Amino acid sequence: MSPSFPNLLVVGCVLSLLLLWKKSRELSLPPGPRNWPWHYSPPVKSTQKSWIRYAEWKKVYGPVASYTRRKSFIIVINTAKAAVDLLEKRSRIYSDRPASVMVGELMEFDRSFFRLSISNPRFQIYRKLFHQELGPQAVKAHISTLERETRTYLRNLLREPANFRKHIKRFSSSIVIKIAFGYSVVSENDHFVGLVNAWFDHANSQLATAGQWMVDSYPFLKHLPRWLPGAAFLRFADEERKKHRELLSAPLNWVKTQIAEGKEIPSFASRRLSRPQRSPEDDDITKYVAASIYFGGGDTNAAALITFILLMVLHPEIQQRAREELDRVVGTDRLPNIDDAENLPYVNALIKEVLRFHPVAPLAVPHRVTEDDEYDGMRIPKGSTIVVNIWSILHDESVYPNHMKFDPERHLSNLTKSQAGPQPDPRNYVFGFGRRVCPGIHLAEVALFLAISSTLAVFEISKATDKDGNLITPRVAFAEGIVSFANAFDCAITPRSLAVMDLLNLGED
């Protein structure tokens, strides 16, 4: 006997109700602006920086927000708790990088350490080599290089104070080129420094926004003819690929020539290339790790140092207090060294506050989740791009009261009774999370301490004057980019005394 229509109708209704019940039980995606006209989205000013816009989302959507850009689903994390919960405690599935036809395939970045997938067998090899070269104990072998480059930077600043940005970039690049390849920068227009600066200046702002390239959502676009209108992205990728290949090969070829001529200089690359038994695979690994040291470590420190100069122009009272501590602890007959660091709490607090006030990579480098996950009642789909708003974390009013005030005292233990400090160390966040923590963190910390403490010990940093003698107050503004630099500004940098000038002439390299 066949089922009657009423019975079929009842079964159908029950199944429909079950499906609706199951759907209602499914977790929702993190809230955020959508492409639907009826979905509320906070107003966005055209001049608003992305890290500030994302931070404002926190007021509307909470600590975790999401949005879709073409076919990319992007999750924005705006608090330290959410970042630690996901990227630290669940680092196994939150440490990959987003797949990108543009950056990975067309620009050929996917084998570099900072883009490499954690599933690639090379990832652990790269991490081990970085630790051997730049780990907390290994960095001690590079102290003499750091001190020598610090003196060169100070002398350049003395000769041409108006070109402080150029001197800072040279200082940061010289350190990593020396460590990676044994190459000494002796010219203001050095070829290798020019290579990395040209690549960075071209790529930094263009690679900063998650999901920005249409070819990542529609891969067939990579086959378009270069001459076709709308194919400018392919010509851009061609230029970046060419620059990247030269960055990978030129310094390494220099090392190989030095070895062949018996003039090798100790470095990461020379030690690896001088091993008697090595394979082409070994040499390829050496190429990518050396290059990652080379162009991964220079601009981040440079951005922090330029921010430091800007903040010292605006806060002479803080500059003076740090200088008084240096004079009391170090004296005026020598430059600070790394052994002085533990006795300079205010200088260390100042460095932390520079990193907090404007983190060098406000949105870090995006992560990718490799499995479906759940967090705080929200569904996080496999393959989502994860953007951590480090700027928002370090400007959380509940953690850093009066967050837009530059105040090193927030990092000291002897705060006033009205403050519950010291506040969280920004270094726990600015160098990344989980398995993607910056491998050069220890080198960066030493380099920043030596450069900042020595600059304070030797120079007065103040406002520049215009042609009528009026003081110029620089504007606090920063450019978009993976690494975010302060916009151009003028300042006056003068030696504290003739004795300081004599100090810089000692040990001329």
Paired strand residues for 73: 68
For all residues of the chain together, what is the average pLDDT? 88
Residue type, 220: F
Report all structural domains of the chain as residue ranges with CATH numbers, in order of start: 27-94+360-394 (3.30.43.20), 102-359+412-505 (1.10.630.10)
Considering only CA atoms, which of 158, 128, 187, 174 is closest in space to residue 435? Answer: 128
Q: What is the pLDDT of residue 360?
A: 95
Binding site, annotated residues: 438
pTM of the predicted structure, to 2 decimals: 0.89
Q: What is the pLDDT of residue 244?
A: 85
Burial 315-352 (b: 16+ CB within 10 A, else e): beebbebbbebbeebbeeeebbbbebbeebbbbbbbbb
Q: What is the pLDDT of residue 323?
A: 96
- DSSP H or E run through 231: none
**Mean pLDDT, residues 379-402 taken together:** 96
Stretch among 18-22, 44-48, 297-301, 411-415 having the lowest mean pLDDT: 18-22
Q: pLDDT band at residue 206, thresholds of 50, 70 and 90?
A: low
Considering only CA atoms, which of 340, 318, 354 is closest in space to residue 426? Answer: 354
- The secondary structure of the chain in percent helix, strand, coil, rounded to multiples of 5, reads 55, 10, 40
Q: What is the pLDDT of residue 67?
A: 92
Binding site, annotated residues for heme: 438
Q: Is the pLDDT of residue 413 over 60?
A: yes
**Mean pLDDT, residues 434-457 taken together:** 95
Q: pLDDT band at residue 3, thresholds of 50, 70 and 90?
A: low
Q: Where are the beta strands (DSSP E) in 350-498?
A: 367-368, 373-375, 378-380, 385-388, 459-462, 464-465, 471-472, 492-495
